[in-house]
A and B are shown apart, each in its own frame.
Chain A
Amino acid sequence: MNDRETRELEESLDTIWEIAKGFGLDPFPIHFEVVPAAIMYEFGAYGLPGRFSHWTHGRSYQQTKTMYDYGLSKIYELVVNTNPAYAFLMEGNSVTQNKLVAAHVLAHSDFFKNNAFFAHTNRQMVEGVSINADRIRKYEFQHGQLEVEKLLDAVLSIQEHVDPHVSMRKERSDRKEEHKPSEPRETPYDDLLRLGEAKPPPEEPGPRKLPEEPEKDILLFLAEHAPDLDDWQRDILHIVRSEMLYFVPQMQTKIVNEGWASYWHARIMRELDLTEQEYVEFAQLHANVIAPSKRSLNPYYVGMKMFEDIERRWDNPTPEERETLGRKGDEGRAKIFEVRALENDAAFIRNYLTQQLVDDLDLYIYKLEGDELKVVETDFEKIRDVIVGSMANFGNPYIVVDDGDYRRSRELYLKHVYEGQEIDIDYAEKTLHYVHCLWRRPVHLETVLNDKPILLTYDGERNTKRLL
């Protein structure tokens, strides 16, 4: 985009905003920044501008940028969940492309602002990650870059194992404490009358299990209970955890959020006064974005189709739906706004994926057979269950800390809550090395292989595996 085109875009942003408001979208104020491709890819790789340095970020930067340099893929949009929202537009995109991106971004920001799962996210996160990055930088000066990198490697290898609901849970257990009946007193002045006497020894608290209940938030558990970590190391655990918690809602709403944004960018663009040529350009880009993929769900496409389907079904309910479900008709728009406010991906799919959609979209289940990937199932309910199942714990195995004092010698016992999907044993054994690096005592992971419970152990020197 040259300067003239930048001005043209700037003018149309006002129009796009008005159209979006007219449709009922309610985004945060947005600041767009036009950046070169390299910067775009950098922000994409780090997840947020200004995040801490680590070689894994360098790797994704290199990968995505290489793909772009070879013309294999392109990031079009990048919007940050903050208030006001920041969004980035690529210098090399045409004005029409960037208009589409702007429309898409407005819908994302509307989603961030109004979806229940984002209600507790930190809307000043850009500043937050900068402060974190400074802190980590300081630790690098104090303890050496390699030392910090070693720790970050370990923490990042288990970064998905956090629990967004931990604060709620904590409140619950605090309340339990309060309701503990206090010791019966004979008179209100017991404690005064007994002054000078030796206090009866406080009741021996039974051997308290650590954690009392299986702990899903492994990062938090390690930060609080790892036996031999320094304060700065615990701090890095807290940093990575807080950034992960910020990203979790985005990971939980990929389909519904991208579907929402794609649904709206198409409608906003149609309201704009585009020339025929611009319209063709828009249509091409839109087609690229929603192109289906043989081996994964394209969230843009599937999400958009689902919103269109919901709108259609609530606009024109069947006589049966009118009767049994009380749908009045012409409620399509209202219904999709309700969905955007309430659902995450798992709920979106569970509640609104239909037989008809699965057939229309030609969704299927495939599996590795020999060295070929084959379609194994096209049944609607099984497809729905596989999708929903794959979203549990945002696509990662659900692992809890079962015991922080295993064998009474402070060994760490992790447990994979098995729900029919086996984990990659090779990776798990390597990951245990990193967990050991944080716990510094033997670490164990219980999981299921070939329908039998097994225990993987790493004691600091070697990995072992045994049937339970």
Chain B
Amino acid sequence: MHAPISLSRQDWSLHRKGPADQARHNEKVKEAIKGNLPSIIAEEAIITSDGKKIVKVPIRSLELPRFRFDFGRNKHIGQGDGDSQPGDSVGQDGPGRGKQAGDQSGVDYYEADITIDELATLLFEDLGLPNLQQKSAETLEAETFRFNEISKKGLMPNLDKRRTILQNIKRNAMAGHPSFGGVKDDDLRFKIWVPDVRRETNAVVIAMRDVSGSMGEFEKYITRSFYFWMVKFLRTKYNRVKIVFITHHTEAKEVDEETFFKLGESGGTKVSSAYQLALDIVKERFDPSSWNIYPFHFSDGDNWGDVDNRRCVDLVNRLLEVSNVFGYGEIREGAIRSSSTLMNAFQAIKDEHFISVVITDKKDVYPALRKFFTPAPRREVAA
């Protein structure tokens, strides 16, 4: 007699339920990315991706929320390999954040794969250089390609079916039967690539970064995050925009892009040094009559005394005379500190092309980008 136990094996190749629900989930991921841009773009993983094409972005909203215990405020049980003592470390943060499998609580986000380019497209949809003006001389020509010209000759894979059908019906109609049929070579229409010469006005962005000792991890991080996206944005939308990188503590110097993003120095702060250098560079290399000029400066506003603050105001006013927009971003972690003496001094500047933002949280980077790079008419975005 056989035991009441059996074994079988069938063809499961048509079973698609899991993949179908997975597809719905992926759809929701894309939606969530769109809705979460402010927090996504400030993610460390993206800024340190070193040009990696695909980044993992945490999507928080895709977890169905539920009533759950607060992992960080409660006690948990673990198991050591013998003789564990109070004070021993069992690692960082929550269990298996995103990395480990399974049903462990504390996994509060899902990691989605997305390419930086996809993100950039979503981000930069409606951003542009503000107050961009047609400058007289030295207009650069950017060559790109368009894929929307129509020709009678072309490659079969590029056949424009809609136009071809229309053409056919037109021709038939001329012959008295307005219907589709009997396609001739003459009806065929193709999409072709044509070089597109776009005139671009000259623009230079002067990126200034405070690298003094008072800039903490958070401040440095925000600065890098902002400039990372600014550079990405400028390169995506304007392929001929020049970017000048300046770092400063008590002294300012022009650096290359790599140094700009890496540098972490220390020392006191003299903001005016950076503005003076920017002004000098403009004078030397970028004649305002042929260049759109955009200086941006990020700092914690912890400047060296009132004397220098007054000098800064003076220099900013002089920069504004030659610039299209001057952007100042002040970073204050957690909004604990009130606005800095530098920010107070800047209150005196009445020029509408002076834009300032305050960043207190990673999430403010995106609104700041929007505030700085919304083409006129400028929309006010709270940052």
Say if the beta carbon of A153 comes within 8 Å of chain B: yes
- Interface 0/1 of B1-38, CB less than 8 Å to A: 01111111110100101111111111010000000000
The minimal Cβ–Cβ distance linking B68 to chain A, given in whole angstroms, is: 5
Smallest CB-CB separation from A398: which chain B residue?
B67
Smallest CB-CB separation from B79: which chain A residue?
A292
Stretch of B87-95, B217-225, B280-288, B338-346 on the interface side: B87-95
Say if the beta carbon of B176 comes within 8 Å of chain A: no
The minimal Cβ–Cβ distance linking A369 to chain B, given in whole angstroms, is: 9
Looking at B5, B65, B71, B105, which has the most chain A CB atoms within 10 Å of its CB? Answer: B5
Say if the beta carbon of A288 comes within 8 Å of chain B: no
Known contacts A6-B7, A38-B18; is A158 also within 8 Å of B84 by CB? no
Known contacts A53-B20, A58-B21, A368-B71; is A296 also within 8 Å of B65 by CB? no
Smallest CB-CB separation from A434: which chain B residue?
B65
Within the assembled complex, what's the spacing in Å between the Cα atoms of A261 and B24? Answer: 36
Within the assembled complex, what's the spacing in Å between the Cα atoms of A427 and B10? Answer: 43
Q: Are B66 and A422 in contact (CB under 8 A)?
A: no
The residue that A362 contacts in the complex, of B17, B80, B110, with Cβ under 8 A, is B80
The A-contacting residues of B in range 47-94, CB under 8 angstroms, are 62, 64-94
The residue that B84 contacts in the complex, of A10, A159, A378, with Cβ under 8 A, is A378
Say if the beta carbon of B104 comes within 8 Å of chain A: yes
Say if the beta carbon of A354 comes within 8 Å of chain B: no
Q: Are B101 and A9 in contact (CB under 8 A)?
A: no
Stretch of A184-192, A209-217, A267-275, A389-397 on the interface side: A389-397
Q: Are A371 and B93 in contact (CB under 8 A)?
A: yes
Q: Are B80 and A364 in contact (CB under 8 A)?
A: yes
Q: Are A31 and B8 in contact (CB under 8 A)?
A: yes
Say if the beta carbon of B102 comes within 8 Å of chain A: yes
Within the assembled complex, what's the spacing in Å between the Cα atoms of A460 and B2? Answer: 62
Q: Are B78 and A62 in contact (CB under 8 A)?
A: no
Q: Are A158 and B67 in contact (CB under 8 A)?
A: yes
The minimal Cβ–Cβ distance linking A425 to chain B, given in whole angstroms, is: 7
Within the assembled complex, what's the spacing in Å between the Cα atoms of A396 and B77? Answer: 16
Smallest CB-CB separation from A11: which chain B residue?
B7
Within the assembled complex, what's the spacing in Å between the Cα atoms of A15 and B196? Answer: 77
- Interface 0/1 of A289-322, CB less than 8 Å to B: 0001111111001100000000000000000000
Say if the beta carbon of A124 comes within 8 Å of chain B: no
Known contacts A53-B20, A63-B101, A372-B89; is A363 also within 8 Å of B79 by CB? yes
The residue that A367 contacts in the complex, of B67, B74, B102, with Cβ under 8 A, is B74
Smallest CB-CB separation from A386: which chain B residue?
B75
Q: Are A427 and B68 in contact (CB under 8 A)?
A: yes
Residues of B contacting A160 with CB < 8 Å? 66-67
Q: Are A73 and B101 in contact (CB under 8 A)?
A: yes
Say if the beta carbon of A56 comes within 8 Å of chain B: yes
Q: Are B25 and A62 in contact (CB under 8 A)?
A: yes
Residues of A contacting B28 with CB < 8 Å? 55
The B-contacting residues of A in range 202-248, CB under 8 angstroms, are none
Within the assembled complex, what's the spacing in Å between the Cα atoms of A232 and B70? Answer: 34
Residues of A contacting B12 with CB < 8 Å? 35-36, 38-39
Known contacts A13-B5, A34-B7; is A58 also within 8 Å of B101 by CB? no
Residues of A contacting B90 with CB < 8 Å? 294-295, 366, 373-375
Say if the beta carbon of A42 comes within 8 Å of chain B: yes
Within the assembled complex, what's the spacing in Å between the Cα atoms of A371 and B8? Answer: 51
Residues of A contacting B108 with CB < 8 Å? 427
Smallest CB-CB separation from B8: which chain A residue?
A33
The residue that A424 contacts in the complex, of B4, B6, B69, B77, with Cβ under 8 A, is B69
Q: Chain A interface: which size bin?
A: 35 or more
Q: Chain B interface: which size bin?
A: 35 or more
Known contacts A425-B70, A431-B66; is A30 also within 8 Å of B89 by CB? no
Residues of B contacting A159 with CB < 8 Å? 66
Residues of A contacting B18 with CB < 8 Å? 38-39, 41-42, 45-46, 57-58, 61, 65
Within the assembled complex, what's the spacing in Å between the Cα atoms of A373 and B82? Answer: 18
Residues of A contacting B71 with CB < 8 Å? 368, 424
The minimal Cβ–Cβ distance linking A122 to chain B, given in whole angstroms, is: 21
Smallest CB-CB separation from A133: which chain B residue?
B17
Within the assembled complex, what's the spacing in Å between the Cα atoms of A45 and B69? Answer: 23
The A-contacting residues of B in range 110-137, CB under 8 angstroms, are 110
Q: Are A6 and B9 in contact (CB under 8 A)?
A: yes
Smallest CB-CB separation from B65: which chain A residue?
A430
Within the assembled complex, what's the spacing in Å between the Cα atoms of A61 and B101? Answer: 12
Q: Are A29 and B5 in contact (CB under 8 A)?
A: yes
Residues of B contacting A57 with CB < 8 Å? 18, 21
Looking at A42, A54, A366, A422, which has the most chain B CB atoms within 10 Å of its CB? Answer: A366
Residues of B contacting A362 with CB < 8 Å? 79-84
- Interface 0/1 of B328-360, CB less than 8 Å to A: 000000000000000000000000000000000
Smallest CB-CB separation from A43: which chain B residue?
B18
Residues of A contacting B5 with CB < 8 Å? 13-14, 16-17, 29-32
The minimal Cβ–Cβ distance linking B103 to chain A, given in whole angstroms, is: 9
Within the assembled complex, what's the spacing in Å between the Cα atoms of A55 and B19? Answer: 10
The minimal Cβ–Cβ distance linking B32 to chain A, given in whole angstroms, is: 11
Q: Are B15 and A42 in contact (CB under 8 A)?
A: yes
Within the assembled complex, what's the spacing in Å between the Cα atoms of A367 and B216? Answer: 27
Within the assembled complex, what's the spacing in Å between the Cα atoms of A16 and B7? Answer: 13
Residues of B contacting A166 with CB < 8 Å? none
Residues of A contacting B101 with CB < 8 Å? 63-64, 67, 72-73
Residues of B contacting A53 with CB < 8 Å? 17, 20-21, 24
The minimal Cβ–Cβ distance linking B6 to chain A, given in whole angstroms, is: 5
Q: Are A366 and B69 in contact (CB under 8 A)?
A: no
A residues engaging B (CB < 8 A)? 6, 9-10, 13-14, 16-18, 21, 29-36, 38-39, 41-42, 45-46, 53-59, 61-65, 67, 72-73, 84, 89, 91, 153, 156-161, 292-298, 301-302, 361-368, 371-378, 383, 386-387, 390, 395-397, 399, 416, 421-425, 427-428, 430-431, 433-434, 445
12 extra interface residue pairs, beta carbon distance < 8 Å, beyond A58-B22, A153-B64, A424-B69: A18-B3, A56-B25, A62-B22, A159-B66, A295-B96, A364-B78, A364-B86, A365-B75, A373-B92, A378-B84, A378-B86, A396-B69
- In the A-B complex, the 6 residue pairs with the smallest Cβ-Cβ separation, listed nearest first, are A58-B21, A29-B4, A42-B18, A430-B65, A17-B3, A58-B25
